[in-house]
């Protein structure tokens, strides 16, 4: 699957990572709903780590849409409140 980190470009991740990412995404939504910024920060950095460790940056010549678009690395908690809602970034 193709994941974009906003402002940093696209990455190709193995499809198996979708479940892991979705799980983190759902937990991030829960953290945001509870106003738990520390918890959110922790989950958010785990999501970024997953992309960094498993993902390969897409070549500039590939013109494809992403399956998932993650917010910018420096997303604020206030911004996250608007993004990580409902089903999260990845619909269940």
Partner 1 sequence: MPGLGGRMSTVIKSKISRMLDRAEDPGETLDYGYQKQVELLQNVKKGIADVVTSKKRLQMQSSKLEQNIVKLDTQARQALSQGREDLARVALERKTLAQTELQSLDTQVRELEAQQEALTANEQKLRQKIEQFRTKKEVIKAQYSAAEAQVRISEAANGVGEEMADLGLAIQRAEDKTETMRARASAVEELEKAGTFDDLSQLGAGQDDIDRQLQELTSGSQVDDELSKMKAELGQGGGDAPALEQGEEKA
Residues found near partner 1 in the complex (CB under 8 A): 4, 6-7, 9, 60-66, 68-72, 82-91
Rounded to a whole number of angstroms, the minimum distance from the CB of residue 71 to partner 1 is: 5
Shortest distance, CB of residue 66 to partner 1, whole angstroms?
Answer: 6
Burial 79-88 (b: 16+ CB within 10 A, else e): ebeebbeeeb
Residue nearer to partner 1 on the CB measure, 21 or 68: 68
Which residue number, 26 or 46, has a Cβ lying nearer to partner 1? 26
Q: Assign residue 64 a region: left if phi > 0, alpha if psi is -120 to 50, beta otherwise?
A: beta
Nearer to partner 1, 53 or 64 (CB): 64
Question: Listing from the earlier edge strand, what are the strands of the sheet with 56-57?
Answer: 56-57, 9-12, 2-5, 68-70
Kindly state the smallest distance separating residue 82's Cβ from partner 1, in Å.
Answer: 8
């Amino acid at each position: 699957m193709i994941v974009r980190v906003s402002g940093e470009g696209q990455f190709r991740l193995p499809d198996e990572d979708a479940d892991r990412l979705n799980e983190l995404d759902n937990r991030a939504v829960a953290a945001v709903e509870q106003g738990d910024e520390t918890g959110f920060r922790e989950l958010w950095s785990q999501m970024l780590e997953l992309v960094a460790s498993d993902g390969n940056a897409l070549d500039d010549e590939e013109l494809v849409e992403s399956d998932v678009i993650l917010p910018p690395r420096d997303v604020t908690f206030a911004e996250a409140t608007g993004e990580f809602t409902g089903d999260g970034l990845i619909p269940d």
